[in-house]
């Protein structure tokens, strides 16, 4: 497979697992979206995750340590103009404020990656999530024309600019991570080459919910990517930390959240945890966020890097495309199994192509 879009085309979803609820038409949470109270969404703890200044001379050390101990951190002085982040969110607001019938004109196809629809993980859960999203890879021109037949260029320009700046930041973060792992950049020759990495920009909307204790924005999961860069203004993102439980990642003005994904977990030979996270309906208002997923090219071979002499790799070599395909086929069996007991999680077992 030459692209991740071609990978996902092999695992088409049912249309019912793509179409979001018409949130404007409901006054109560329907049974299809009502999650058990025992899933413990009521946690109100704030986690003191690290905030790192990218201009700090010790940024590589601080980032590596945060990845190792938390699997998540926030960055400031990241060189993405705040007005660009404002513009991206403003365009997202306009998109999600369109009538449902209009948004459905840009619906993601069953075997597609881009466009309007539910989170792809929705098909693995018995209940639906209180969420609608819009996924962009490169130019969103085709879908934007469906949404705004005569006024789509501004949306396209801002989204393309946003992806460019996010990728520049991702490259900077990856350089710091490789420095921390003492890995030669020769082993990641694709890094920094324009248009080579596998990337996606995800616009998220979590509409105002009539009963937040019965709904969930995004169910617990890990991201496929090396890491994800997130812009959030309103709280709702929670991560699970062993020995602590669920806690909120507090929005910091001007900061971006970075969380470790599955591929970086593999490359680090499990030094960096792929952080389990979810979105809960905490605030009595609509919540928007913007996520940028950063991964190697689809044909890149994933092998644990930076191993010391005699250290045994925990994972066998696998291409990015193969890993994405396995997770697309069976999230629960092959990657993530979560069992809840009130506010605690009894077990987290992550299957990552471990050596037999």
How many CB atoms sit inside 10 A of residue 146's CB?
Answer: 16
Q: Regarding beta strands 245-249 and 46-47, do their DSSP bridges make them parallel or antiparallel, or are they unpaired?
A: parallel
For 294, residues 6+ apart whose C-beta sits below 8 A from its C-beta are 166, 167, 170, 174, 197, 198, 199, 225, 226, 227, 228, 229
Distance separating alpha carbons of residues 260 and 66, to the nearest angstrom? 10
Q: In the structure encoding, which two tokens stand for residue 206, read together?
A: 């979590």
Please report where in the chains the tokens 């365009």 appear, as a residue: 91
For 337, residues 6+ apart whose C-beta sits below 8 A from its C-beta are 347, 348, 349
Active site residues: 287
127 neighbors 23 (Cβ within 8 angstroms): no
Of 109, 71, 125, 117, give the one whose Cα is nearest residue 331: 125
């Amino acid at each position: 497979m030459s692209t991740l879009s071609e990978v996902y085309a092999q695992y088409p979803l049912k249309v019912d697992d793509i179409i979001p609820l018409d949130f404007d038409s409901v006054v109560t949470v329907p049974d299809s979206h009502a999650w058990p109270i025992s899933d413990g969404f009521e946690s109100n703890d704030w986690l003191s995750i690290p905030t790192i200044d990218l201009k700090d001379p010790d940024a590589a050390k601080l980032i590596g340590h945060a990845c190792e101990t938390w699997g998540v951190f926030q960055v400031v002085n990241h060189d993405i103009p705040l007005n660009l982040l404002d513009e991206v969110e403003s365009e997202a607001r306009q998109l999600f404020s369109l009538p449902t019938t209009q948004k459905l004109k840009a619906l993601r196809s069953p075997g597609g990656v881009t466009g309007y629809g539910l989170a792809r993980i929705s098909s693995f859960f018995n209940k639906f999530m209180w969420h609608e999203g819009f996924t962009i890879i490169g130019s969103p021109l085709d879908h934007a024309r469906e949404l705004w037949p005569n006024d789509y260029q501004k949306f396209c320009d801002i989204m393309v600019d946003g992806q460019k700046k996010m990728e520049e930041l991702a490259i900077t973060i990856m350089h710091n991570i490789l420095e921390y792992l003492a890995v030669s950049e020769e082993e990641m020759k694709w890094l920094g080459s324009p248009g080579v990495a596998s990337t996606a920009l995800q616009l998220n909307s979590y509409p105002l919910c009539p009963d937040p204790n019965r709904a969930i924005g995004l169910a617990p999961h890990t991201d496929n990517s090396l890491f994800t860069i997130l812009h959030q203004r309103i709280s709702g993102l929670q991560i699970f930390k062993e020995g602590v439980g669920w806690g909120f990642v507090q929005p910091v003005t001007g900061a971006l959240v970075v969380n470790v994904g599955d591929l970086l977990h593999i490359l680090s030979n499990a030094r960096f945890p792929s952080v389990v996270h979810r979105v809960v309906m905490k605030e009595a208002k609509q919540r928007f966020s913007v996520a940028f997923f950063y991964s190697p090219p689809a044909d890149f071979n994933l092998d644990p890097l930076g191993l010391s002499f005699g250290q045994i790799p925990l994972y066998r070599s696998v291409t990015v495309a193969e890993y994405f395909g396995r997770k697309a086929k069976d999230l629960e069996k092959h990657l993530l199994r979560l069992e809840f007991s009130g506010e605690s999680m009894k077990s987290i077992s992550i299957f990552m192509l471990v050596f037999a």
